[in-house]
Amino acid sequence: MKTVKLSDHLEWVEARKAKLAAAGLMPSDEELRNKGLNRTEAKRDLLRRVEARAKAAGFPLIKSCY
């Protein structure tokens, strides 16, 4: 597993935002909200595995209020 520092991640995010803004492709805040519509299949698989592990460990699932 790769470890990522928060500062490195935030730098990457800011660089990506600048690149999108320069290209005129910066989406609105509402478009950036995670509704799961743009998830890759790998992300969906990861979330399924996390959910299965949480259930197996007896943790309650967290439901979104949106």
Q: Domain span at residue 22?
A: 6-57
Cα-based angle 28, 30, 25 (whole degrees, multiple of 5) = 25
- Higher-confidence position of 55 and 64: 55
Q: What is the pLDDT of residue 36?
A: 72
Residue 54 has which token pair?
Answer: 């949480």
Q: What is the pLDDT of residue 24?
A: 86
* Residues 4-61 pLDDT 10s: 899 999 999 889 888 988 888 887 767 766 677 778 899 889 989 988 999 999 988 7
* 40 belongs to a structural domain: yes
* 1 belongs to a structural domain: no
* 62 belongs to a structural domain: no
Q: What is the pLDDT of residue 45?
A: 92
Q: What is the pLDDT of residue 28?
A: 75
Total count of domains within the chain:
1
* 24 belongs to a structural domain: yes
